[in-house]
Amino acid sequence: MTCDNLTPVTILLETLVLCSEKAADIARLIRTQYALFPTLIQHKSHKESGTDFAADVMTLADVLIQQSIRHDIGKEFPSFGGSVYGEENSVFRAAQSGENVQLTIPQTLDELQSILSHVLEDQQSLAGALAELILSPLSHFRLRSAVLEHLVSISQLDVSAQLDLTKFAVWVDPIDGTAEYVKGNKCDVSSEETRAPSLDVVSPHVFRYRISGTLDNVTVLIGLFDRTSRLPVLGVINQPFFPRVAASLGDSQSSGRLFWGSTLGGSYLSSNCLPSSAPSITKCFPDWSLQKLSSSSDSMTDVGKLRVACSSSDFDCLERILKDCTPPVDDDLPPELVFVSCAGAGFKLLCLILCQLDIYLLLKPNTYFWDTCAPHAILRALGGGLIRLKPALSYVREQSMTGVCDVDPSTLREFEVHYSVKPSDYTDLSCCCNLDGLLAYRDGRVACQFLHRLARSANAVNELFD
């Protein structure tokens, strides 16, 4: 698979795609254990979570998926497994005994089943099923319908680049959207709640959609970054519960889909990342949900709006700044803004990748490298980016004050998020946190004009980040 210690890009990409599908299978298998599932959830301490959320949780799936990906990458590329970093550590507490179990992945089925039995205690059949799945060779997943077309596309890529893997590292988010994974709500297009999200008219030009989270919001994220440039260069996103056809929750043959993109040796993308027509900021906004990320074929409205994803907690601040903001005459963005609140950083970034959003905005330091590395890589392959909001907004404001109102979109590259490895003590995660907020985009021109719109408020920078 490698020559002179170099690894072909296509071989690495194929491996990460297969790892993501095995991860999706683990997520589906554990989530179907309805009676047992509440015992497979535990709360993190503040140090473990590194977030400001009142309650951050992890599940057995989080730990096993991260360990499985690390194990399989290390098996395919010896010594590279130590360069795989993730949100979780490898310890999970048994529900009944309270014993902290180190969930390492051994080489034999009996050993792994024994380790899992300490966590699952009297659930020996599940321990056996999980052990068998985790130790399944990646080749076992090649013929999956969610994977096969991607492997064919990857094999046909015209890319000859080969990598010295010592110069790269991987960030993994095993389950992004853990809260939605725990709730376990399926997307039901017949549900009145799903079909009619809350719509608030904030001002004549500002609207807000609140879209309820479901298992569709859950993603597995695997991103590769260059240790020297510190930029992401390859990303895989797997959406385990997306219903390709009517299927039961755990049907791995009928649910799930994935996306990938790379800038190694050129820009390469899975075909489903490419819009069927040229992206347009005046693209119609879905009348009830994000069209490509739902299983509905409902029609869309005719009104063009700029679609901005943000968290519920950020919206109040953005409302104060933008509700009375009149776009400048040279701003050719749609005057109407629609703020979309939905769960999962990975999900929102996937919406952006698929042209269902125009901007993803995050003010608070609530995302980490594991949340953003994979989608950031795909956005870069699309010509977009993911930047640190605070310095970018300060720069645009300074330029505006000097009379420069037309910032070159290429300037945004100066503010891109840069990645590093996880600290060895795992206690201080601030170096892995996106502390300056985020702005993600597909079109640099749209991003620059939106930053100008924000900067027109005299106190925008201070107010947004107080």
Residue pair 259/205 in contact (Cβ under 8 Å)? The answer is no
Q: Is there a domain that residue 434 lies in?
A: yes
Cβ neighbours of 107 (radius 10 Å): 9
3-state secondary structure of 114: helix
The alpha carbon of 112 is separated from its chain's Cα centroid by a whole number of angstroms, namely 29
pLDDT, residue 457, reads 67
Q: What would the pLDDT profile of 71-129 be if each residue is shown by its tens digit?
A: 999 999 998 999 999 988 889 988 788 889 999 999 999 999 999 999 998 789 999 99
Report CA 38 to chain centroid distance, whole Å.
25
Q: Tokens 């919206």 appear where?
A: 315
Q: How far is CA 171 from CA 34, 84, 267, 458, in A?
A: 30, 6, 20, 38
Q: Do 353 and 447 reside in the same domain of the chain?
A: yes
Q: Which domain holds residue 433?
A: 284-465
Q: In this structure, are strands 168-176 and 84-86 parallel, antiparallel, or unpaired?
A: parallel
For the ranges 60-64, 246-250, 356-360, 443-447, the one whose mean pLDDT is highest: 60-64
For residue 234, the surrounding DSSP H or E stretch is strand 232-243
**Mean pLDDT for the stretch of residues 1-27:** 90
> In this structure, are 251 and 294 located in the same domain?
no
Asked if 457 and 352 sit in the same domain, the reply is yes
Does 114 map to a domain?
Answer: yes
> Domain tally for the chain?
2
Q: Are residues 132 and 253 in the same domain?
A: yes
Torsion of CA 19, 23, 25, 27, to 10 degrees: -170
Residue 195 lies in a domain: no
Query: 191 vs 130, 187, 194, 285, CA distance in Å?
Result: 33, 8, 5, 20
The answer to whether residues 15 and 153 belong to one domain is yes
Residue 2 lies in a domain: no
CA distance 131 to 148: 24
CA proximity to 208, closest of 316, 108, 128: 316
Average pLDDT over residues 371-379: 98
The CATH number of residue 56's host domain is 3.30.540.10
Whether 145 and 44 map to the same domain: the answer is yes
Within-domain flag for 196? no
Domain contains 186:
no
CA distances from 193 to 136, 198, 237, 334 (A): 39, 9, 27, 28
Q: What is the DSSP string of 121-183?
A: TT-HHHHHHHHHHHTS-GGGGTT-HHHHHHHHHHHT-----EE-GGGEEEEEEEEESHHHHHH
| Confidence class for position 283, pLDDT limits 50, 70, 90 | very low
Q: Are residues 411 and 441 in the same domain?
A: yes
1 or 380: whose pLDDT is higher? 380
Q: Hey, is 53 helix, strand or coil?
A: coil
Same domain, 264 and 295: no
The answer to whether the CB of 166 falls within 8 A of the CB of 160 is: no
pLDDT for the residue numbered 286: 37
Shared domain check, 292 and 258? no
Looking at the structure, do residues 30 and 120 belong to the same domain, yes or no?
yes
For residues 356 and 373, the model is more confident at 373
Instruction: Give the CATH number, domain containing residue 290.
Output: 3.40.190.80
- Tell me whether residue 132 is annotated as binding: no
- Give the model's pLDDT for residue 300: 29
Residue type, 147: V
Q: What is the DSSP string of 366-400?
A: --BHHHHHHHHHHHHHTT-EEEEHHHHHHHHHHHH
Which strands, in side-by-side order, build the sheet including 232-243? 84-86, 168-176, 219-226, 232-243, 255-262, 268-269
- Residue 175 is labelled as binding a ligand: yes
Tell me: do 80 and 150 sit in the same domain. yes
Tell whether residue 436 is among the known ligand binding residues: no
In a domain, 199, yes or no: no
- 211: annotated binding-site residue? no
For residues 376 and 369, is the Cβ–Cβ distance under 8 A? no
Residue-wise pLDDT for 119-163, tens only, equals: 998 789 999 999 999 999 999 999 888 899 999 999 999 888 899
- Is 192 annotated as contributing to ligand binding? no
Residue 288 pLDDT > 50:
no
Q: Which run of H or of E encompasses 195?
A: helix 192-195
Window from 14-18, 274-278, 427-431 with minimum mean pLDDT: 274-278
**Dihedrals phi, psi of 404, to nearest 5 degrees:** -90, 110
Would you say residue 81 lies in a domain?
Answer: yes
Phi, psi of 366 (to 5 degrees): -110, 5
- Whether 353 and 239 map to the same domain: the answer is no
Please say if the pLDDT value at position 293 is more than 80: no
Long-range contacts of 285-290 (CB under 8 A, 24+ apart): 285/338, 286/356, 288/194, 288/195, 288/196, 288/197, 289/194, 289/195, 289/197, 289/211, 290/211, 290/340, 290/342, 290/351, 290/356, 290/357
C-alpha torsion 342→344→345→351, nearest 10: -60
Per-residue confidence band for 279, with pLDDT thresholds at 50, 70 and 90: very low
Distances (CA, A) of 437 to 27, 254, 434: 29, 37, 6
| Nearest one of 149, 156, 64 to 112, comparing CA atoms | 64
